[in-house]
Structures are given as C-alpha cells and as structure tokens.
Structure 1
Amino acid sequence: MTNSIIKAGNYTVLQVIEGYQRYLSPIKGFKCAAGHVYGDTTCSAAIKAIVKSQGIVQGLPAIQNQLKRCQTAARQLAANPGQPQAGVFCCVLPIPL
C-alpha cells in the first residue's frame, strides 16, 4: 500500500473512534468489559492510542490483543454473576479473534 493510502486509513479510523467517543459512547449506556474488569482504558481509547502510535496496519496485532482482552473480561463477568456488571458490554464477544 502506498504511504498516502495508509495515512488516510489511519486518519479515517481515528476520526471514527473520536466520533464514537464523543457522540455515541456518552449515550449508549454501557462500558467496555475490559475497562470495567481491569480498571484501565476502554477498547476505544486503547485502539485509538495504538493507531496513533503504530498505525492501523502495524498495530493490527495489538488491536486484536485488546479485543481479545475485552472478550476475556466479558466471559469473566458472565462466569461471575455476583460481580457488579451493570452497564458492561463486550462488542466483539461473538466474533472469533
């Protein structure tokens, strides 16, 4: 891929994430399972940081790892119904990564 196409792809992904964080995330009513369980950043913030530092192409393995963390966290929550989990959701749980 040419450098300009990669830069355009990175820019587009960052704009989509920022739009999601600004407009959809505040009204959706749930939080990323990884952010809830591990007490750290949410998937959107982590993926945004990955794209900024590595780009979408080189950062793809790290992005997949983040989404796997979210799946693991969601499964952990599902296996422990006594844990507080109101408003927690994994958007990729049914997708095999």
Structure 2
Amino acid sequence: MNKHYIFFTRNTLPQPNAAHLVHDVNSANAAANLGYSTVLVYLHPPEKSLNPLDWLYPFRLQQPPENLTKFYSIQDQLKVAPLAMPWPIGHMKGKLTS
C-alpha cells in the first residue's frame, strides 16, 4: 500500500462561510502541488451514502468532484476519499458519532 499524506475533516464539503474548511482544503492542495501523494478525506452526507460498497471499502481514492474543484479551486494532483456515513450514524448524536 502506498503511503499518503492524509488531511481529514469531519465536515461535509463544500460548505460556504467556513474558513477552517478552506484552510484544510488549501493545505491538502499545497502538499499535493509539492509532489506529495496527498488525500483529502471528508464525510459524505447520509443522503449520498446509500451504496453498501462504500461502507465495506470506504477508502477509495478518486479525483475531486467538479463542484469541489470549482468551489475551492484545487488542482488535479489532489485525490479525495469521501467517507460514507450510513443513515443511522449520520443522524444520531453520541459519543461515537460526533
């Protein structure tokens, strides 16, 4: 398995008016532009996490979606891995889910 620099945020992306998310994405983008194998990991909203394959194999590298690329103006070197949050986990607040 290749080694990656992983930047994780527990928020869904993109979100307007969230400066800390802009910082997280720009930091990951900068590391990727320097030539490091970099992955931005973020949570997928529960309504988009209906595929059970995403629950069994959560860490699958992808190119950033078009809306994420335009919103944060990131480059092609950065890979993303959206983590699926199944329905009950995304809606329950508790010690293990928040």
- Shorter chain as denominator, the TM-score bin is under 0.3
More helix by percentage = 1
**What TM-score comes out, normalization by structure 2 length?**
0.25
- The structure with more strand, counted as a fraction of residues: 2
Larger Cα-atom Rg:
1
